[in-house]
């Protein structure tokens, strides 16, 4: 199977969906000739023109508002918010309007909106361009929240997101755009709301999110040489969450480690820990462990950034402690 980058997989998904459905269009800052801040949309304007690849002003609230308005009249907008940090400027339109209109209309209104954005550290982008804010959106009823970890997942999930009739927050990771992986040339979809077992194991369930999945895979190879076999669950969609997949894995392994790049306090790991405590606590042979970023703004300097953010070594150490 061919291998392409994460960036190319996202672009391919959008190109295929725009060819399939003339109602699909994109809007965002510098997504046209410039190709986006991370070159994800590069070349699309040459095929689809400026009416379907819309360069917008630097106005995130306006981008989200235009997406809502166009969706209400039958379009399927894919709106890019350059950094998830800037989504706070569009939060009123996303949280108070897009997430609630279908409910408030008794299901008579569809909101087929995809908000594409990226998050995370690792590239010295500084505290205002490196946050992981997925739980801000996951807390809001009416929004679907997706975080793909591989090129294969990114393409299949984005195609499903574009066809979804409810608003989807589609969160990529800036540190993975150049990473490569196998992606078939034939069309495929990955259903929203289903987790993926990235690696089977018998000793510890590791629930990892976004780029942390790659760190977990690296840690798994190191731990296997020590005789520790971790099972890696990638939720892919955190709202709705595939609860059953996580519970069944914990029942098998008896141990749980959750890894994400967002701050540990009030992060995704807290929700998964609560889920397992509610539904599978009798199956645990050790306390639940969580790994996340330190509770500080993300530093600009690479050394400090690496100190603040989780990595494969942190997963290895936590796994050893769980097996002790």
Please report the sign of the dihedral spanned by the C-alpha atoms of residue 9, residue 60, residue 268, residue 296: positive
Bridge partners (DSSP) of residue 241 are 238
- b/e map 124-155, b = 16+ CB within 10 Å: ebeeebbbbbbbbbbebebbbbbbbbbbbbbb
**Annotated catalytic, 260?**
no
| C-alpha closest to that of 269 among 248, 296, 241, 244 | 241
User: What is the rounded distance in angstroms from the CA atom of residue 248 to the CA atom of residue 253?
Assistant: 9
CB atoms within 10 A of CB 183: 23
Bridge partners (DSSP) of residue 4 are 181
Residue tagged active-site, from 129, 139, 173, 260: 129
168-173 and 180-182 beta bridge pairing: unpaired
Please, are residues 298 and 309 in contact by the beta-carbon 8 Å criterion?
Answer: yes
Contacts of 311-314 spanning 24+ positions with Cβ under 8 A: 311/215, 312/215, 312/216, 312/218, 312/219, 312/222, 313/219, 314/215, 314/259
Secondary structure of residue 67 in the 3-state scheme: helix
Contacts of 115 (CB under 8 A, 6+ apart): 64, 67, 79, 81, 87, 90, 94, 167, 168, 169, 170
CB atoms within 10 A of CB 123: 14
Q: Which residues are catalytic?
A: 129
């Amino acid at each position: 199977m061919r291998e392409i980058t994460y960036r190319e997989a996202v672009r391919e998904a959008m190109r295929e969906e725009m060819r399939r459905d003339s109602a699909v269009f994109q809007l965002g800052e510098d997504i046209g000739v410039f190709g986006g801040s991370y070159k994800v949309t590069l070349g699309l304007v040459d095929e689809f023109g400026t009416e379907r690849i819309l360069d917008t002003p630097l106005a995130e609230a306006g981008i989200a508002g235009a997406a809502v308005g166009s969706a209400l009249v039958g379009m399927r907008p894919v709106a890019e918010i350059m950094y998830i940090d800037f989504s706070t400027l569009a939060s009123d339109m996303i949280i108070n309007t897009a997430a609630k209109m279908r409910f408030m209309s008794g299901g008579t209104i569809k909101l087929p909106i995809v908000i594409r954005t990226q998050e995370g550290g690792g590239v010295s982008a500084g505290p205002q361009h490196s946050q992981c804010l997925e739980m801000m959106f996951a807390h809001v009823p009416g929004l679907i929240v997706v975080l793909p970890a591989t090129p294969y997942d990114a393409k299949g999930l984005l195609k499903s997101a574009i066809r979804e009739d409810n608003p989807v927050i589609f969160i990529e990771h800036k540190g993975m755009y150049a990473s490569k992986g196998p992606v078939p040339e034939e069309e495929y979809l990955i259903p929203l709301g289903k987790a993926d077992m990235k690696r089977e194991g018998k000793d510890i369930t590791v629930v990892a999110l976004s780029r942390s999945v790659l760190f977990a895979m690296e840690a798994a190879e190191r731990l296997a040489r020590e005789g520790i076999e971790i099972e890696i669950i990638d939720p892919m969609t955190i709202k709705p969450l595939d609860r059953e997949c996580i519970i069944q894995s914990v029942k098998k392994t008896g141990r749980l480690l959750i890894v994400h790049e967002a701050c540990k306090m009030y992060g995704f790991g807290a929700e998964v820990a609560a889920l397992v405590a509610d539904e599978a606590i009798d199956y645990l042979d050790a306390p639940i462990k969580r790994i996340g970023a330190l509770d500080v703004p993300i530093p600009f300097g690479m050394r400090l950034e690496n100190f603040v953010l989780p990595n494969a070594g942190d997963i290895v150490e936590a796994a050893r402690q769980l097996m002790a």
